[in-house]
Amino acid sequence: MTDQEPNALDGLVNLRDLGGLPTEGEAITRPGVLYRSDAPHAGDRAPAGMPQWPPKAVVDLRDTVEEDEREHPLAPVSRVYRIPVLEDLRTGLGREPSSSLRALYERLLEGASKRLVEVFRVAVETDGPVLIHCAAGKDRTGVVCALLARAAGVRSDAIVADYVSTDRNMWRVLQRLAVSPTLPPGVDREAVSELISAPASAIEAVLARLDENEGGAAGWLQAQGAGRADITRWQQRFLAVSD
């Protein structure tokens, strides 16, 4: 590693493969299935150390107002799905900014269930790695990845540990966002100090809400219209028996 590498902003700075996470049973998640990151920029260098790059599919969770008219940077090499998970909530959030990330995350689960199921179906149906991203790769991406991981049976503590690991990347994420600062709609940067951190309590609330359902996160997906067969396919695709 060179002295300059930690400050490099010409590539994704909050990227990771969600392979290797332990489940409640005797399985772990497969590498090369589910990636998460901050938003790709035009001209980004290809990341090192990923099982496969570019991803087969990209799910962009940002709102339309956060994007410009240019093609997604990965569109030439990946199939891009734009699924703005918070867009349907824009009006309500605009009138009354969320007081905490926990409140924002819970509102996303309650008000964007159809969009979340769309993301799930992309993850199920893609034959190859799926990259999930928003702007920072923390909030919307964190909720979506928690849902996908928990539906596959990943342990809650492992999901929380992955979520909070974004903290160490946030200063570089913010540097990249300074080029085009974006926030989830209705969230005030000054009023919500949690915006630049990844507090365990925020994602723990999401997991608790999912686990309240009969069948947990998988049951929540079924209640929102996902088929049991698709949930089984997702578990088979994402999980491998541990040694």
pLDDT tens digits for range 163-219: 999 999 998 998 888 744 455 555 555 544 556 789 999 999 999 999 999 999 999
| pLDDT in the model for residue 192 | 46
Domain annotation covers residue 72? yes
- pLDDT value, residue 2: 34
Domain CATH for 157: 3.90.190.10
Q: Stretch 81-95: mean pLDDT, rounded?
A: 75
Can you give the pLDDT at residue 185? Answer: 56
CA dihedral over 121, 124, 129, 133, signed as positive or negative: positive
pLDDT tens string 212-240: 999 999 999 999 999 999 999 999 999 99
Provide the domain limits for residue 112. 9-175+190-227
Residue spans of alpha helices (H) in the chain: 90-95, 101-111, 113-125, 140-151, 156-164, 170-177, 200-211, 216-223, 228-238
Parallel, antiparallel, or unpaired: how do β-strands 57-60 and 34-37 relate? Answer: unpaired
Report if residue 233 sits inside a domain: no
Per-residue pLDDT tens over the stretch 12-54: 999 999 999 999 988 999 999 999 999 999 999 999 999 999 9
Task: Write down the mean pLDDT value for the chain.
Answer: 88
Cα dihedral 42, 114, 173, 186 sign = positive
Give the separation between CA 197 and CA 200, rounded to whole angstroms. Answer: 10
Q: Establish if 18 belongs to a structural domain.
A: yes
**What's at 51, amino acid-wise?**
P
Question: Residue 133, exposed/middle/buried by CB under 10 A (0-12, 13-18, 19+)?
Answer: buried
Q: How far is CA 144 from the centre of its chain?
A: 5
pLDDT range class, residue 6, cuts 50, 70, 90: very low
More confident site: 106 or 183 = 106
Omega before 54 within 30 of 0, i.e. cis:
yes
Judge if pTM exceeds 0.85: yes
Rounded to 10 degrees, the C-alpha dihedral 137/122/11/195 comes to: -10
Q: Is residue 101 over pLDDT 70?
A: yes
Residues of the chain with pLDDT > 90: what percent? Answer: 73
- 180, part of any domain: no
Q: Is residue 22 part of a domain?
A: yes
Could you give the C-alpha distances from 11 to 8, 51, 125, 139, in angstroms and in order? 7, 17, 27, 20
pLDDT exceeds cutoff 80 at 3: no
Q: Is residue 109 part of a domain?
A: yes
Helix (H) or strand (E) holding 79: strand 79-82
DSSP 19-56: TT-BBSSSEEEPTTSEEEES---TTPPPPSS-SSSS-S
Q: Can you give the pLDDT at residue 243?
A: 62
Total tally of structural domains belonging to the chain? 1
What is the pLDDT, as a whole number, of residue 180?
A: 45
Share of the chain above pLDDT 70, in %: 84
C-alpha 100/C-alpha 112 separation (Å) is 18
In a domain, 239, yes or no: no
